[in-house]
Structure 1
Amino acid sequence: MRIEAIELYEYRLTYAHGTYAMSKGRSASQQPSNLVRIVADDGLEGWGEAAILSGNYLPLFAGGTREALRELAPHLIGEDPRAIKRIEGIMDGVLTGQNNAKSAFDIACWDLFGKSVGLPVAALLGGVLGENLPIFEAIPLSSTEANIDFVTKRSAAGIRRFQIKVGDDPQRDAARVRSIIEASDDDIFFYVDANAGWTLLEASIGMRAMEDLNIWFEQPCTDLADCALLRKMSPLPLIMDESVVTLADLYRAKYEVGAGGINLKLGRVGGITRAANMRDTAQNLGMHFNIEDIWGGDISAAAVSHVAASSRPANLLQTSFFNDWTEEHVAGYQPRVRHGVGAAPTGPGLGIEIDRGLIGEPVTSFS
C-alpha cells in the first residue's frame, strides 16, 4: 500500500455553549480546524483532524499548523501509511515539533491501517479494554451562577464529571468552586484546571483554600518545577497537562513533581502513536490519565475514543468527546456520548464515515 494523494480541508468549529473561557482572559467561541484525507493506491482513504484552541493556549497557532500540514504532506506521498513509525520518522526529519499537524497525519494513517485489515484502531492498539468510557466536560470560567446552571443542564444530560476552570483570583476561584460543589448532586465528581495560568503564589493560595475538598488540581502553573514546589505546600493531588509533551516530561511529572497522573492530548503529543506510547508508559509507572485532544469534532472524538477504549480502565480517569462540545459534525455526530459514557466505534479504522458534502472542496492537495 502506498499513499497516492493527500487533501487538506479547513473549517470552523463553534463552541456549543457560547464562549469557552480559561484563565488570564483566554477565550474563544469558534476554533479553526483542519482535516486531512490520505488516499492510498488501492482507493482506501484515511482521515485525520488537527484543531487549535486559540494561539495563547499552547505554543501553536492555526496559521502555523496549516503551514506545517502543507510542509509535511509532500514528503509522505509514496509511503506506506501502515508503516506508522516510518511516517513518524519522516515527519520528524522534516519539522521539529509541530505536533498538532503531525497528529492529523498520524490519525489518518491509523484510520487507513485499520481499514486495510478490517479492524478498528482500538484493536490495533491492543484491543478494547473499556466499553463504557467515563466522560467529562469543562465548565468555562464565568460567574458562579452561570457555572451552577451549566452543571445543572449538563448533569441532566447524564454527565457526572466536570472540570472547573480556575486560574484568575485564587480566593474568588476557591469560593466559586466551593459553591458549585455545594449546589450539585453528591455523586458528581469535580476537579479544577488552571491551564497553567497561576503563578506559584496564586496557586499556593488557591490550593490551600480548597484543601478540604475532594478534588485534584490540573496544571496549576506553567513550570514543572513550580508544580513540584506546590506538592510540598498542599496535600491535593496534581495532574500534569500542558507541560507533558515527551516521555521525558512524563517521567519528570511523576518523579520530580510527584503527580499522580497526566492529561494526554493527541494534538499536543503528536497523534495516536505517541499518545498510546505515553499512555502505556504511564500505566507501567502506575499513573492515571485523561485521554482527550486540544480541540476538535467528530474525527478527533473518534481518535480519542480508540486510545481511551484500549486503555486499562483502572488507569483511565476519564475522557472527552469534543464533538459534544461543538456544533459542526462532519461524520454524523459519531461517536456519541450516552448517559455520561462513551464508546469507540466498532467499524474498521476510526469507524466513522465522513460526509464530504459538509466540508467543501480541499484547500490544497498533493499527489
Structure 2
Amino acid sequence: MHIETIKAYRLMQPFVEGRYNMSKGRGADGFDAVIVSVTSNTGLTGWGEMAPLGNFYSAAFAAGAQAGVAEIAPHLLGQDPRALTRLNRLMDTVFKGHPYIKSALDMACSDLTARAAGVPLVTMFGGRESDMADLYRVVTHGPVETMAANAKQIVSEGFHRLQVKVGGIVHDDIERVAAVAASVPKGTVIFCDANAGWSAYQARQFVDATREIDYTMEQPCVSIDDCLSVRRSLDKPMVLDESVTSLEEMLDIHRRGAADGLTLKISRLGGVTKTRQIRDLAVDLGFMVTVEDTGGAEVDTAAMAHLSLSTPEERRLHAIAFHEWVTVRTARNAPPVIGSRMGIPDGPGLGIDVDLELLGKPFLDASY
C-alpha cells in the first residue's frame, strides 16, 4: 500500500456562542481549520484536522499550517501510510520543527491505517478502556456576574466539570472564582485555568486568597520554573498544559515534580502518534491525563475521543466536545454526546464520514 493522493482544505468554523474570551483580552471568533485527506492506491481514505485557537494560544497559526502541509505533502506521496513512526521521522527530517503542521497528516495516515485493518482507531491506541468519557465545559473570562450565571447554566444542563478561565487581574479573578464556586452545587469539579497568564507572584496571590475553594490549578505561569514555584505553596493539585510541548518537556515536568496532571494537545505534539506515545508514558509515570487539541470539529474531536477512551479510566481527567462548539458540520457520524459524556463513532478508523460538499475546493491536490 502507498499514498496516492493528498488533499487539504481550509475551513473557518465559527463558534456557536460567539467570541471565546481568555485573559489579557485574548479571544477568537472560531477555529480556522486545516483538514487533510490521504488516499492510498487501494482507494481507502484517511482524514486529519488541526485548528489553532487564534494566533495567541499555541505556537501555531492556520496560514502556517496551510503553507507547511503543501511543503511536506510531496515527500509523503508513494510512502506506506501504515509506517507511522517512519512517516513521522520523515516529516521531521524534511521540515524541522513546527509540529502543528504535521498533526493533520499524521492523523490522516493513522485513520487510514486503522481503516485498512478494519478496526477503530481506539484499538491501535491500546484498546477501549470505557464506553464514555466525562466532558467539561468552559466558563470563559468576563464580568463576575456573567461568569457565575454561565456556570450555573452549564450545571443546569447536566455538566459537573467546569474549566474557569482566570489569568487576568488577580483580585478580580479571586472574585470571579468565588462567585462561580458559590453558584454551583458542592462537589462540582472546578479547574482554574490561567493559560499561563500570571507571574509567579500573581499566582501565589491567587492561591493564598482562594485556599477555602475546592479547585485544581491549571497552568498559572509560562515557565515550568514559575509553575513549580507556585506548586510549592499550593495545597491543591496542579495540571500543566501549555508547558507540555514534547516528550522531553513531559519528562522534565516529571523529574522536577512540577505537576500532578497533564493536558496533551494533539497538534502541539505533532499528531496522534506522538500524543499516544507521550500519553502512555505519562500514565506509567503516574500523571492524570487529559487528551484534547487546540480546536477543530468532527474529525479532530473523533481523534480526541479515541485517545481519551484508550486512556485508563483511573488516569483520565476529562474530555471536551469541540464539534459542539462550532456552527459548521464537516462530517456525519460524529462522536456521540449523551448528557455530559462523549463516546466514539462506530466504524473503522476515526469512524466519521466526511461530507466533501461542505469542505469546498481543496487548496492542495497532490498525486503520486
Per the normalisation by structure 1, the TM-score is 0.97
State the alpha-carbon separation in 1 of the partners of residues 193 and 95 from structure 2: 31
Any conservation in 1 of the 2:6–2:366 contact (CA below 8 Å)? Answer: yes
Shift of 1:11: 0.6
Change (3 A) 1:86 1:297: same
Any conservation in 2 of the 1:20–1:27 contact (CA below 8 Å)? Answer: yes
* 1:91-125: CA deviation from partner (whole Å, max 9, x where unpaired): 00012221112110111011101110110000111
Shift of 1:151: 2.2
State the alpha-carbon separation in 2 of the partners of residues 214 and 51 from structure 1: 32
> 1:294 is aligned with what amino acid?
T
Calculate percent identity across the aligned residue pairs. 33
Counterpart residue number, 2:293? 293
State the alpha-carbon separation in 1 of the partners of residues 68 and 147 from structure 2: 37
| 2:8 equivalent to 1:8 | yes
Counterpart residue number, 1:302? 302
Q: Tell me the number of residue pairs that the alignment of Structure 1 and Structure 2 aligns.
A: 367
> 2:136 is aligned with what amino acid?
F
Q: Helix, strand or coil: the match of 1:226? A: helix
* 1:213-234: CA deviation from partner (whole Å, max 9, x where unpaired): 2111111000001111112222
State the alpha-carbon separation in 2 of the partners of residues 132 and 340 from structure 1: 10
State the alpha-carbon separation in 2 of the partners of residues 234 and 124 from structure 1: 38
1:216-235 counterparts in 2 under 5 A?
216-235=216-235
Counterpart residue number, 1:37? 37
Note the aligned Cα RMSD (angstroms). Answer: 1.2
* 1:131-162: CA deviation from partner (whole Å, max 9, x where unpaired): 12011121110112222232233333322111
State the alpha-carbon separation in 1 of the partners of residues 27 and 217 from structure 2: 20
Any conservation in 2 of the 1:207–1:236 contact (CA below 8 Å)? Answer: no
Counterpart residue number, 1:99? 99
Counterpart residue number, 1:66? 66
Counterpart residue number, 1:114? 114
Per the normalisation by structure 2, the TM-score is 0.97
> 1:311 is aligned with what amino acid?
T
Counterpart residue number, 1:275? 275
Any conservation in 1 of the 2:9–2:362 contact (CA below 8 Å)? Answer: yes
Any conservation in 2 of the 1:292–1:321 contact (CA below 8 Å)? Answer: no
State the alpha-carbon separation in 1 of the partners of residues 144 and 252 from structure 2: 35
Counterpart residue number, 2:87? 87
Q: Helix, strand or coil: the match of 1:4? A: strand
| 2:170 equivalent to 1:173 | no
Counterpart residue number, 2:356? 356
Deviates more, 1:249-258 or 1:92-101: 249-258
Shift of 1:333: 6.6
Counterpart residue number, 1:78? 78
State the alpha-carbon separation in 2 of the partners of residues 12 and 4 from structure 1: 27
Moved over 3 A (4+): none
Any conservation in 1 of the 2:333–2:352 contact (CA below 8 Å)? Answer: no
Deviates more, 1:144-153 or 1:116-125: 144-153
Q: Helix, strand or coil: the match of 1:319? A: coil
Any conservation in 1 of the 2:34–2:66 contact (CA below 8 Å)? Answer: yes
Counterpart residue number, 2:251? 251
Any conservation in 2 of the 1:296–1:322 contact (CA below 8 Å)? Answer: yes
Any conservation in 2 of the 1:331–1:353 contact (CA below 8 Å)? Answer: yes
State the alpha-carbon separation in 2 of the partners of residues 188 and 287 from structure 1: 22
Counterpart residue number, 2:321? 321
Structure 2 segments unaligned to the other structure (5+ residues): none
> 2:42 is aligned with what amino acid?
D
Shift of 1:257: 4.3
> 2:179 is aligned with what amino acid?
S
State the alpha-carbon separation in 2 of the partners of residues 255 and 349 from structure 1: 35
* 1:222-248: CA deviation from partner (whole Å, max 9, x where unpaired): 000111111222222211111111122
